[in-house]
Chain A
């Protein structure tokens, strides 16, 4: 039997031998993106932001493509590393489905918000193609069986890939519908007043290995669609709207496969803010 030290030495040699240099376009892309990316909590000195771009302007389009392909919402990724206002004690009440997500073993569906209000968030699927809340049902199955990953999902075990999932490293919710069945994140208002809904929705699976048609993402209040948008592969679209809600009114964020569900994984970042 080989000693541990021998295996470790072989392993270290092998890791070194297999190491490849970073491709130039990756480095260029990163530095191009850096030039457009502000630092978090920067302590500005008198140093100017030097005009010289070490790698030139090459690859701008490639950067955009890679960033979108890598998740699309990268610019907002660091939201997960800092406290959000959701559940805070500030004067402005804000709800964020990632911040409010309840991980196992405390998962619930519907789930309370961080203010302690019960049944604010719901993880649902439709039973038809209609945008009709009476046909929506709660996902019955909670999964957290990917050790080493922070992702958890509410799913419909009777269907393939029908999930509402959270991905804290990117601070996003993932929705994946299937053909004829919408996947839905629901927010039931614990307050009355005017709320502003800000978000970004994206379809990151680009390119798709299978033929894929569009996807329709909509924001509904009850069965009324407040805003709808078609999303192509790789597309990332911000949305913003204001609506008035009463206590118990529900806003639905609906991913509709609009035909086939190939590569219909949908990323959603959203905050709901009660206007003061």
Chain B
């Protein structure tokens, strides 16, 4: 990410922030979408995160860490959306509707469907760890920092998630 753009945006330059937003918007939205499995809520979370990033930018100490920091904010916005949804649907169905991912009709890629099903079974906080690790490319330490959890918790969530995904994949091959 362009350090100069980040520094200009930190000083209140909206055009610099717009350029940053365009560069990172797709990744943030995809991360939110993966975590929430709901396009509408992912849109809300991403939009809120982009506003929050702008507001908080002067607080970012190291501009080189902008990308990891931005993921941190979008994950928090996704958590807020997920939590809001749970609160709104108290004791009714807690299952998040999956409006995002239609069944893949392509033949020969059953694994992807199984991955989708396995991923859907993961709790939101586990999905967040998986997305930050395997989509955003953050290190375990960066994930721990982003989510305010111990690094050991990151490892255990990744381990558990892999176990669920493995079970989903291998269920299909039995």
Contacts and interface: CB of A to CB of B under 8 A. Distances in A.
Contact of B48 (A15, A52, A71): A71
Interface in A1-40: 1-2, 4, 7-8, 10-12, 14-23, 26-27, 29-31, 33-35, 37-40
Interface residues of A, number: 72
Contact of A43 (B11, B43, B80): B11
A40 B73 CA distance: 15
A55 interface: yes
Contacts of B86: 146, 149, 151
B90 interface: yes
A50 interface: yes
A138 interface: no
Of the candidates A8, A33, A42, A149, the one having the most CB atoms from chain B within 10 angstroms of its own CB is: A149
Contact of A18 (B34, B55, B56): B34
A34 B80 contact: no
Interface stretch (B17-25, B63-71, B138-146): B17-25
Of the candidates B26, B55, B79, the one having the most CB atoms from chain A within 10 angstroms of its own CB is: B55
Contact of B131 (A7, A15, A69, A149): A15
Interface residues on B, range: 35 or more
Contacts of A45: 11-12
A2 B33 CA distance: 27
B83 A31 contact: no
Contact of A26 (B46, B55, B111, B125): B46
Contacts, number: 201
Interface in A58-86: 63, 66-67, 69-71, 74, 77-78, 81
A30 B79 contact: no
Contact of A146 (B17, B83, B116): B83
A131 interface: no
A255 interface: no
A73 B46 CA distance: 16
A40 B12 CA distance: 10
B82 interface: yes
Contacts of B125: 147-149
Interface string B76-113: 11011111101110110000000011000000000110
A205 B39 CA distance: 17
Contact of A174 (B17, B34, B39, B87): B87
Given A12-B135, A18-B34, A78 B25 contact: no
B34 A163 contact: no
A50 B15 contact: yes
Contact of B58 (A10, A39, A74, A174): A39
A205 B88 contact: yes
Contacts of B22: 27
Contacts of A15: 30, 34, 131, 134-135
Contacts of A35: 14
B47 A47 contact: no
Contact of A11 (B8, B44, B54, B130): B130
Contacts of B13: 47, 50
Interface of A: 1-2, 4, 7-8, 10-12, 14-23, 26-27, 29-31, 33-35, 37-45, 47, 49-50, 52-55, 63, 66-67, 69-71, 74, 77-78, 81, 146-151, 153, 160-161, 163, 165, 167, 169-170, 174, 176, 204-205, 263, 265
